[in-house]
Amino acid sequence: MNVLVMGVGNLLLQDEGAGGKAVEEFARKYRVPPGVEILDGGTSGIELLQYIQGRDLLILVDVIRSGNPCGTLTRFEGQHVPALFRDKISPHQLGISDLLAVCQMTDAMPEKVVLFGIEPKSLDTGLTLSDEVAANIGRLADLVAEELRLFGVKVEPYS
């Protein structure tokens, strides 16, 4: 098993930091076996290639504008994921879009790619999440755990 759980986003732009906060919460709440790596990819782009190529499963967590109320959680899988990053809402998503395109062109794409998105309220400069997004960070971490379990990964909560 070769799995990466990666949050992406900019912690300096309020809700844009939700991906990193969610994987941080996941790491705080859950114990994972060897073969599962947890990473805050921040605003990096192509330099993340070394972390994602050849994975069995890649779980991305990021903000996604889907037209739903702020704080809404959505799940996307497979070819829908690269397509979502082509409709960028922030500069880091250009890097992720390029990264996924390189993976597709070089046969380095993980076998399965899942994106958990959360609808942002504000992408203004600031270090805190909106109340609507903050209220769903724990649930987002739980969804990551559920996805890993569906993939056959033994995920256990810390006592």
What's the CATH number where 132 sits? 3.40.50.1450
Model pLDDT, residue 89 = 52
Residue 138: domain span: 3-151
- Compute the average pLDDT of residues 4-16: 92
158 within domain boundaries:
no
Domain for residue 7, yes or no?
A: yes
Decide if 159 is inside a domain.
Answer: no
User: pLDDT value at position 84?
Assistant: 61
Q: Is residue 138 part of a domain?
A: yes
More confident residue, 110 or 104: 110
- Provide, rounded to the nearest whole percent, the portion of the chain with pLDDT above 70: 91
Q: What is the pLDDT of residues 80-93, one digit of tens each?
A: 676 665 555 555 45
pTM (predicted TM-score): 0.89
What is the domain count for the chain? Answer: 1
Number of Cβ within a 10 Å radius of residue 127: 9
pLDDT above 80 (res 5): yes
Tens of pLDDT, residues 18-77 = 999 999 999 999 999 999 999 999 887 778 888 998 899 999 999 988 889 999 999 999
| Residue 145, pLDDT score | 98
**Angle CA(39)–CA(41)–CA(45) in degrees, nearest 5?**
140
What is the DSSP secondary structure assignment for residue 44, as one 8-state letter? Answer: -
Q: Report if residue 157 sits inside a domain.
A: no
**Residue 156 belongs to some domain of the structure:** no
- Say if 131 falls within a structural domain: yes
Q: Binning pLDDT at 50, 70 and 90, where does residue 95 land?
A: low
- Is 95 a member of any domain? yes
How much is the mean pLDDT over the chain? 88
